[in-house]
Amino acid sequence: MDSVAPQTPDPRRARRLALILAGLAVVLAGGGALWFSRTQVRLRVDPGRSWRTPDVLDRMLARAEKAERARDRGAAIAAYRFVVAVGSGGDPTFELYIAAARRGLTRLGADSAPSPR
């Protein structure tokens, strides 16, 4: 009948497991904080980094072209300037987007940089 009787848990084993789990939580929290701060520094240096994807640039070009067809010059210029500013990160794969946005700005008679306020 020994196999049926419940065994009492070993308090040292439970304490060891709790310490291991607490240490793991501290390491993961520290790693997350480090990753967050590094990402924050990168975004401070290059704010367009999180928006620099082909999907976003495609959508913004489509939005600019739609605004241009609707004769909404301000919205079209803003969207084209967004593509130029965000796409200008040095990656050659975005040159097509930048060129299309600059052509749109030329059609609208606007500069690629926003006017000073």
Residues 35 and 60 in one domain: no
Residue 20: domain span:
11-45
For 34-43, how does the pLDDT look when each residue is reduced to its tens digit (9 = 90+)? 999 888 887 7
User: CA nearest 57: which of 107, 90, 93?
Assistant: 93
The predicted-structure confidence for 74-104, as pLDDT tens digits, reads as follows: 999 999 998 998 887 667 888 899 999 999 9
- 41 and 74 housed in the same domain: no
Largest CA distance in the chain: 92
Angle subtended at Cα 116 by Cα 111 and Cα 117, rounded to the nearest 5 degrees: 135
Give the Cα separation of 85 and 17 in Å (integer): 52
Task: Evaluate whether residue 115 is within a structural domain.
Answer: no
Residues 76, 29 share a domain: no
Per-residue pLDDT band at 15 (split at 50, 70, 90): very high
What is the model's pTM? 0.60
Same domain, 62 and 100: yes
